[in-house]
Amino acid sequence: MQYGFVKIAAAAPKIRVADTEYNAKEIVRLMNEAHENGAKIVVFPELCVTGYTCSDLFHQELLLAGARRALGEIVKASEGMDGLFFAGLPVEVEGKLYNAAAGFSGGKLLGLVPKTHIPNYSEFYERRHFTEAPEKTRLIRLPEWGEVPFGTDQIFVCEEFPALKVSAEICEDVWSPNPPSIRHAMNGATVIVNLSASDEITGKEAYRRDLVRMQSGHLVCGYIYASAGEGESSTDLVFGGHHLICENGSLLKESRRFHNETVYAQIDVERLMGERRRISTFHVSCDGDGYISTAFSIRPGEEKLERFVDKAPFVPGNQAEREKRCEEILTIQTMGLKKRMEHTNCKSAVIGISGGLDSTLALLVTVRAVDRMGLPRNCITAVTMPCFGTTDRTYTNACELTRRLGANLLEVDIKEAVKIHFRDIGQDMEKHDVTYENGQARERTQVLMDTANRLGGMVIGTGDMSELALGWATYNGDHMSMYGVNASVPKMLVRHLVRYYADTCGDGKLSEILLDILDTPVSPELLPPKDGVIAQKTEDLVGPYELHDFFLYYVLRFGFAPDKIYYLAQSAFKGEYENRVILKWLNTFYRRFFAQQFKRSCLPDGPKVGTVAVSPRGDLRMPSDASARLWLDMAEKLMEKDV
Question: Which whole number is the average pLDDT over 308-333?
Answer: 95
Buried b (16+ CB within 10 A) or exposed e, 13-47: bebebbbbeebbbbbbebbeebbeebbbbbbbbbb
Specify if 436 maps to a domain: yes
pLDDT band at 41 (very low <50, low <70, confident <90, very high): very high
Identify whether the C-beta of residue 260 lies closer than 8 Å to the C-beta of residue 42. no
Specify if 314 maps to a domain: no
Indicate the range of 138-147, 584-593, 594-603 predicted with least confidence: 138-147
User: Is 186 found in the same domain as 134?
Assistant: yes
Specify if 301 maps to a domain: no
pLDDT of 104 reads 98
- pLDDT tens across 468-478, in order? 999 999 999 99
Indicate the range of 196-205, 241-250, 549-558 predicted with least confidence: 196-205
Specify if 599 maps to a domain: yes
CA–CA dist 235, 512 (Å, integer): 64
pLDDT band at 92 (very low <50, low <70, confident <90, very high): very high
CA–CA dist 91, 140 (Å, integer): 12
User: Is 329 found in the same domain as 266?
Assistant: no
- pLDDT tens across 374-423, in order? 999 999 999 999 999 888 899 999 999 999 999 999 999 999 999 999 99
Question: Which whole number is the average pLDDT over 262-266?
Answer: 97
**Average pLDDT for the chain:** 94
pLDDT of 534 reads 64
Question: Of 263, 296, 329, which one is at a domain's C-terminal end?
Answer: 296
Share of the chain above pLDDT 70, in %: 97
More confident position, 609 or 145? 609
Catalytic residue among 7, 26, 40, 46: 46
User: Is 90 found in the same domain as 35?
Assistant: yes
Identify whether the C-beta of residue 154 lies closer than 8 Å to the C-beta of residue 138. no
pLDDT band at 547 (very low <50, low <70, confident <90, very high): very high
Question: Which whole number is the average pLDDT over 504-531?
Answer: 86
User: Is 336 found in the same domain as 271?
Assistant: no
405: which residues sit within 8 A by CB, 6+ positions away? Answer: 363, 364, 367, 377, 380, 510
Specify if 311 maps to a domain: no
Sign of dihedral through CA atoms 127, 259, 169, 244?
negative
Domain span at 237? 2-296
User: Is 349 found in the same domain as 275?
Assistant: no
pLDDT of 126 reads 86
Sign of dihedral through CA atoms 287, 292, 297, 298?
negative
Identify which of 111, 51, 54, 61 has the alpha carbon closest to the alpha carbon of residue 86.
Answer: 111
Cα–Cα–Cα angle for 15, 20, 23, rounded to 5 degrees: 35
Specify if 313 maps to a domain: no
Question: Of 296, 311, 329, which one is at a domain's C-terminal end?
Answer: 296
The answer to whether 431 is a known catalytic residue is no
Residue 47 reports pLDDT greater than 70:
yes
User: Is 182 found in the same domain as 64?
Assistant: yes
Specify if 198 maps to a domain: yes
pLDDT band at 524 (very low <50, low <70, confident <90, very high): low
Residue 536 reports pLDDT greater than 80:
no
pLDDT band at 132 (very low <50, low <70, confident <90, very high): very high
- pLDDT tens across 600-610, in order? 999 999 999 99
CA–CA dist 31, 462 (Å, integer): 57
Residue 122 reports pLDDT greater than 70:
no
Specify if 304 maps to a domain: no
SS3 131: coil
CA–CA dist 379, 46 (Å, integer): 67
User: Is 245 found in the same domain as 169?
Assistant: yes
Sign of dihedral through CA atoms 560, 563, 567, 573?
positive
Q: Cα separations (Å) of 540 from 367, 395, 433, 469, 517?
A: 32, 22, 17, 17, 19
CA–CA dist 520, 530 (Å, integer): 15
pLDDT of 438 reads 92
Residue 287 reports pLDDT greater than 70:
no
pLDDT band at 333 (very low <50, low <70, confident <90, very high): very high
Q: What CATH number does residue 435 fall under? A: 3.40.50.620
pLDDT of 493 reads 96
The answer to whether 171 is a known catalytic residue is yes
The number of folded domains in the chain is: 2
User: Is 344 found in the same domain as 255?
Assistant: no
pLDDT of 540 reads 77
pLDDT of 526 reads 63
The answer to whether 46 is a known catalytic residue is yes
Which residues sit opposite 244 in a β-bridge?
Answer: 225, 254
Question: Which whole number is the average pLDDT over 98-108?
Answer: 97
pLDDT of 535 reads 60
pLDDT of 527 reads 72
pLDDT of 236 reads 86
Catalytic residue among 171, 221, 326, 387: 171
CA–CA dist 241, 263 (Å, integer): 11
Identify whether the C-beta of residue 261 lies closer than 8 Å to the C-beta of residue 273. no
48: which residues sit within 8 A by CB, 6+ positions away? Answer: 12, 13, 15, 23, 27, 87, 88, 89, 195, 228
pLDDT band at 120 (very low <50, low <70, confident <90, very high): confident
474: which residues sit within 8 A by CB, 6+ positions away? Answer: 437, 438, 441, 442, 445
178: which residues sit within 8 A by CB, 6+ positions away? Answer: none
pLDDT of 390 reads 83
User: Is 551 found in the same domain as 508?
Assistant: yes
Identify whether the C-beta of residue 140 lies closer than 8 Å to the C-beta of residue 167. no
User: Is 111 found in the same domain as 181?
Assistant: yes
pLDDT of 643 reads 57
Question: Which whole number is the average pLDDT over 433-462?
Answer: 95
Catalytic residue among 7, 40, 48, 115: 115
Identify whether the C-beta of residue 307 lies closer than 8 Å to the C-beta of residue 252. yes
- pLDDT tens across 54-80, in order? 999 999 999 999 999 999 999 999 999
Question: Which whole number is the average pLDDT over 421-441?
Answer: 94
Residue 288 reports pLDDT greater than 70:
no
Q: What CATH number does residue 99 fall under? A: 3.60.110.10
Residue 494 reports pLDDT greater than 70:
yes
Question: Which whole number is the average pLDDT over 41-45?
Answer: 98
Residue 484 reports pLDDT greater than 70:
yes
pLDDT of 489 reads 97
Residue 533 reports pLDDT greater than 80:
no
Cα–Cα–Cα angle for 160, 163, 167, rounded to 5 degrees: 105
User: Is 338 found in the same domain as 269?
Assistant: no
CA–CA dist 13, 23 (Å, integer): 7
pLDDT of 581 reads 95
pLDDT of 280 reads 78
User: Is 443 found in the same domain as 372?
Assistant: yes
Residue 486 reports pLDDT greater than 70:
yes
pLDDT band at 302 (very low <50, low <70, confident <90, very high): confident
Counts of helices then strands in the chain (DSSP H, E) = 20, 22
Residue 525 reports pLDDT greater than 70:
no
Residue 343 reports pLDDT greater than 70:
yes
pLDDT of 135 reads 93
Question: Which whole number is the average pLDDT over 533-542?
Answer: 73
CA–CA dist 532, 540 (Å, integer): 18
Give the range with max mean pLDDT: 235-244, 374-383, 616-625: 374-383
